[in-house]
Amino acid sequence: MAPMQPPQDDLDRRKVVGINPETVTNITSTDFPGHHAGEDNSWSLSNFKQNLKVHFHENEKDEAIFSLVGVDASIANAFRRILIAEVPTLAIEKVYVQNNTSVIADEVLAHRLGLIPLKGRIEGLKWLKWFFEPNPDLGFEGVGRTDYNTVVLSLNVKCERNPHADKNATEPEEKYINSSVYSRHIKWAVQGSQEEQFRDGPIEPVSPDILIAKLRPGQEIDIIMHAHLGKGGDHAKFSPVATATYRLLPTITITKPILGADARKFQKCFPPGVIDLERVTPSDAASDESVYHGREGDEKAVVKDPMRDTVSRECLRHEEFRDKVKLGRVQDHFIFNVESTGQFPSDMLFLESVNVLKYKAKRLLQALDEMEK
């Protein structure tokens, strides 16, 4: 018996999570997501390519919003977790304090320095290799520090009195020189081939105005820092994103016309831009919908942009909208919001997460092949 093919309406209905006043329905309709009895649900590369869609809604250097359509929640969540914890980035790892007479303890200062995001030429950042610390206990010799695995930075700031300051000045910035230590005081010490690799984009803090410490006359900070590649799974300072989140695309279906004052109240139940008001046309008034009769020119509620909805369910609290609206979310339409810390462009980070997942899949296949041998 050949597998049956359900109507397209049924296929579309399966993908919508029902949002009710106090419950959520159709989260998973089968024991195995995407598989239904009596149907051929075998995985097909051609069908996957046809259904997979990536559409960018906003693509700025530091923030990207895009839709990922046609994948299971496990795949979408894998991308999110990889973005947070497994895309390699450069951050300060070793801090050698030569002199620190500020009020901030050495270990606190080192922690603050590690959290300052760095940037540089993208090709140069990808040229850098991993640094492995020697571990005598395990007999691991590690890898020595070289120009291709270690970036050297320095911070040398001393606070002094400003000889030209007004005697009535009260602000530290006027009375003293270098009363505040900012990220712009961090200097990159070029090593070997790094000059060529970062010729168009030197290594420096993403923002020059990150406050590190405050000094007073006689206090000084003199530090050498080593930056290495790392992963967010080891420490948050290596995470390339400030936020990486996704949500399901909301659906709003008006099942019965909502007119006049009710339409205006219905619009206020949603964030701006979700519901629009249109006029009842002569063709609407002449239709079989009796509710339109005699309402020509009146306002009616229509769905304009469901993606802006926060799914607050506010409209379900009002008796006048009962049985007139259905809320839902599309199970395989994920709206990602990726905010970069500045080391990599936000859209590139998603591509890097794809590469990491591909690498993991290849490693898994290799492990399975080795198990069969």
pLDDT (tens digit, 9 = 90+) per residue, 286-296?
787 778 887 88
pLDDT, tens digit (0-9, with 9 covering 90-100), for 128-187: 999 888 777 766 677 788 999 999 999 999 999 999 889 888 999 999 999 999 999 999
Domain 89-238 is classified in which CATH homologous superfamily? DNA-directed RNA polymerase, insert domain (2.170.120.12)
Taking the model in full, what pTM does it have?
0.86
Top-tier CATH class for 256-323: alpha beta
Least confident of 53-57, 222-226, 296-300, 307-311: 296-300
Q: Are 311 and 250 in contact (CB under 8 A)?
A: yes
Domain spans of the chain, in order of start: 89-238, 256-323
1 pLDDT more than 60: no
| Residue 233 C-beta-side C-alpha neighbours within 13 Å | 8
Q: How far is CA 195 from the centre of its chain?
A: 31
Least confident of 2-11, 124-133, 278-287: 2-11
Q: Are 373 and 278 in contact (CB under 8 A)?
A: no
Could you tell me which of 341, 336, 315, 337 has the C-alpha nearest to residue 326? 315
Least confident of 8-12, 224-228, 249-253, 282-286: 8-12
Report which of residues 10 and 130 the model is more confident about. 130
Q: Please list, in sequence order, all residues whose beta carbon lies within 8 angstroms of the beta carbon of residue 178, skipping any fewer than 6 positions away.
A: 157, 158, 159, 160, 185, 215
| Residue 58 C-beta-side C-alpha neighbours within 13 Å | 12
pLDDT, tens digit (0-9, with 9 covering 90-100), for 195-228: 999 988 999 999 999 999 999 999 999 999 999 9
Could you tell me which of 295, 260, 296, 294 has the C-alpha nearest to residue 277? 260
Could you tell me which of 227, 268, 245, 217 has the C-alpha nearest to residue 117? 227
Q: Do domains 89-238 and 256-323 have the same CATH topology?
A: no
Mean pLDDT of the chain: 90
Compute how many other C-beta atoms are within 10 angstroms of the C-beta atom of residue 226: 16
Q: Please list, in sequence order, all residues whose beta carbon lies within 8 angstroms of the beta carbon of residue 48, skipping any fewer than 6 positions away.
A: 70
- C-alpha distances in Å from residue 49, one per residue of 53, 71, 260, 357: 8, 10, 45, 17
Cα distance between residue 102 and residue 112, in whole Å = 14
Question: Which residue has 């579309």 as its token pair?
Answer: 12
End-to-end Cα distance, the chain: 38
270 pLDDT more than 60: yes
